Amino acid sequence: DVKVTQSSRYLVKRTGEKVFLECVQDMDHENMFWYRQDPGLGLRLIYFSYDVKMKEKGDIPEGYSVSREKKERFSLILESASTNQTSMYLCASSSGSFNEQFFGPGTRLTVL
Amino acid sequence: ELKVEQNPLFLSMQEGKNYTIYCNYSTTSDRLYWYRQDPGKSLESLFVLLSNGAVKQEGRLMASLDTKARLSTLHITAAVHDLSATYFCAVDMKGAQKLVFGQGTRLTINP
């Protein structure tokens, strides 16, 4: 079974802090994705990566950056956290030839 | 631009009843995915539909795809409380490595 893990289930940070959210997949997938999910807004794509060191902006990249130094790991970085970044963050991965995405358990981030 | 619309967005139904969730999308695609999300949890893959006319069934859920109509349906038969969740459809963007998700349908099944 595909396994996607995220470094934290719950995280509380202060405004202005730098925040790292880590995602690791164990199925050698080429593609990895970061979404945020907010009530009433569905899933919104922040960034995705289709190869090591490659990244593409999604629909709402402002205030975020990403890093993919190894194939299995995709990090989401909030350079200076703000309260409007309080959300559920979901990581997903998929293979290069087949776009079914497999999701991690999610990180619920609260920025105070 | 590919748009994916689900309806209804909210559905409250009684146990034992049948109902259908609809997923419409705006441009050509041959692949569609259904996911389930329980409150506070992540998304779990339910069905993968890979061609026109594809039908998949598991338990009380059945999904189908009509690529000509750009429509997928998720049919619930004799609903039970355990099926209460939010259901998302997602459509494969041709030529891209990403999916476009519908808004989700929050399904509540009452005893």
Q: Which residue of B has its CA nearest to A37?
A: B42
The confidence score (pLDDT) of residue A44 equals 93
CB A109 within 8 A of CB A86: yes
The confidence score (pLDDT) of residue A41 equals 85
d(CA A62, CA B108): 35
User: Residue B2: what residue type?
Assistant: L
> Do residue A50 and residue B88 have CB atoms under 8 angstroms apart?
no
Sequence-distant (6+) residues with CB within 8 A of B109 are: B12, B13, B14, B15, B79, B80, B81, B83, B84
The confidence score (pLDDT) of residue B97 equals 77
> Do residue A96 and residue B41 have CB atoms under 8 angstroms apart?
no
Mean pLDDT of successive 10-residue stretches along chain B, which has 111 residues: 93 95 91 94 93 92 95 96 96 82 95 86
* Residue B98: CA count within 13 A, CB half-sphere: 22
Q: Which residue has the tokens 């041709």?
A: B94
> Do residue B97 and residue A50 have CB atoms under 8 angstroms apart?
yes
Which of A74, A100, A102 has the most B C-beta neighbours within 10 Å, making it the best mutation to test the interface with B? A100
d(CA A15, CA B79): 45
> Do residue B42 and residue A106 have CB atoms under 8 angstroms apart?
yes
